[in-house]
Amino acid sequence: MALRDRLFEFLRRRLEGVPLRIVLWDGERFEFSDAPLITATLHARRVGRLLLTGNMAGLGAAYVSGELSVEGEVEDILKVGVALAERVGHAPVLRHIGPLIGRLRRHTRRQDAADVRYHYDVSNEFYRLWLDRHMVYSCAYFKTGAEDLDTAQEQKLDHLCRKLRLESGDRLLDIGCGWGGLVCWAATHYGVDAVGITLSELQVEEARRRVAEGGLSERVEIRCQDYRDVPESGGFDKIVSVGMYEHVGIANLPLYFRTIARLLKPGGTALNHGITAGDRDGAAQGPPGGEFIDRFVFPGGALPHLSKVIYEIAGAGLEVTDIEDLRPHYPPTLRHWSRRLEAHREAAIAAAGAERYRIWRLFMPGMAYAFERGFLSVAQVLAVKPRKEGPAPRPWTREYQYVPLRDVPLTSEG
């Protein structure tokens, strides 16, 4: 039986009713519903064989290279892609070896720098096209769900600052500062002196530009530096890390949190904001696709379960004081990003190339689906470093996260 015949029969049994049209390399078309919403064009016979074998990783690579093209609305592409992965995809072994790979990968300074620069040193203009005005590359914080992206991200920046109980004169360290949005916000609105570190040279360039533009050069320092190399032991009143520890590696989490503890003053506060795995053991959930992210989006990334995060924070000698799950906030953030990317398609391709555009066009809706289904979550974990004389002071309630700090009483320990 010819490849096209085997392919059609294989897909007909599995995709009947899915609103998909497949166009083969010679122009022949197959439709699997009366009203296809998505057209997938296979530009090479090789892609047909990938479909037959359910090789989702290979199909993802073919999409990135242009051997497979997809037309339709992003939301419809996601729905059809999930149906395809669930009914055709075969990657069960990855659910078991994925967490193991994350533990075995060596996170040397050189390798971590290369991984970070692969993801971020694409083009500042590429990210500027679809991020908010502060270029915050982590989930926003919605109070009604109807906010625009700029408003929701400013709400997130302020939520972080309130949780940290930032005050004028505090020395703040931002590990993985991105393009400088948080340190600039904290210095401008809370009067802190801040140090932001990142391994991305392009982020350093943009962050320093924003610092200078905001007249903050005497209060905000941006460094191209590995978290392991920050020398100021006990030098910071507050430490924050947003969307960075995912790059650290599971095996390095103890070192990461011990480093935070080393850099924090006794009585100081640290806040870690990051994605967590839904599975207790960090195994992949949902349809196949994690290998696409590891290869094309976040090489070297690894996600622990929240319980692992808390365990390692406690192991570093810090006291966990607050945990907030923000999973519902990430899907709308990703949808905002995705729509903005689609709206700037030509400019995005000009800034970062067609392959990069296709990667992000597929990645962001897929991540939104993972958060909506609970395969992934995101948590803010707040901790304090005990003083020699005992526990650090803290507010009696969570009211401090929503009202001015001067109106919040501290526990008697303070």
pLDDT confidence of residue 330: 96
230 within some domain: yes
Alpha-carbon span 20 to 88, nearest angstrom = 14
From the number of C-beta atoms within 10 Å of its C-beta (0-12, 13-18, 19+), residue 338 rates as: buried
Domain boundary at 24, 58, 90, which?
Answer: 90
pLDDT confidence of residue 100: 40
Judgement on whether residues 35 and 110 belong to the same structural domain of the protein:
no
Here the tokens at position 80 are 């059809």
Q: Which CATH number covers residue 63?
A: 3.30.1050.10
Judgement on whether residues 147 and 65 belong to the same structural domain of the protein:
no
412 within some domain: no
Residue 190: which domain range? 101-407
Question: Is 90 exceeded by the pLDDT of residue 91?
Answer: no
pLDDT tier, 50 (very low <50, low <70, confident <90, very high otherwise): confident
Judgement on whether residues 272 and 168 belong to the same structural domain of the protein:
yes
What's the predicted TM-score (pTM) here? 0.84
Judgement on whether residues 299 and 332 belong to the same structural domain of the protein:
yes
Judgement on whether residues 105 and 61 belong to the same structural domain of the protein:
no
pLDDT confidence of residue 6: 81
Here the tokens at position 157 are 């920046």
Please give the sequence-ordered ranges of beta strands (E in DSSP) within 28-158, or none if there are none: 29-31, 38-42, 68-71
Judgement on whether residues 74 and 105 belong to the same structural domain of the protein:
no
Alpha-carbon span 138 to 314, nearest angstrom = 25
Alpha-carbon span 62 to 377, nearest angstrom = 29
Judgement on whether residues 27 and 135 belong to the same structural domain of the protein:
no
Which region among 107-111, 200-204, 294-298, 379-383 has the lowest average model confidence (pLDDT)?
Answer: 294-298
Question: Is 70 exceeded by the pLDDT of residue 92?
Answer: no
What does the pLDDT average to over 323-336? Answer: 96
Q: Is 90 helix (H, G, I), strand (E, B) or coil?
A: coil
Q: Which CATH number covers residue 174?
A: 3.40.50.150
At 250-268, the pLDDT tens digits run: 889 999 999 999 999 999 9
Judgement on whether residues 358 and 259 belong to the same structural domain of the protein:
yes
Judgement on whether residues 178 and 311 belong to the same structural domain of the protein:
yes
Judgement on whether residues 11 and 54 belong to the same structural domain of the protein:
yes
Judgement on whether residues 167 and 266 belong to the same structural domain of the protein:
yes
Residue 197 is inside which H or E element, if any?
Answer: strand 193-198
413 within some domain: no
Domain boundary at 90, 123, 150, which?
Answer: 90
95 within some domain: no
Judgement on whether residues 338 and 316 belong to the same structural domain of the protein:
yes
Task: Name the domain count of the chain.
Answer: 2
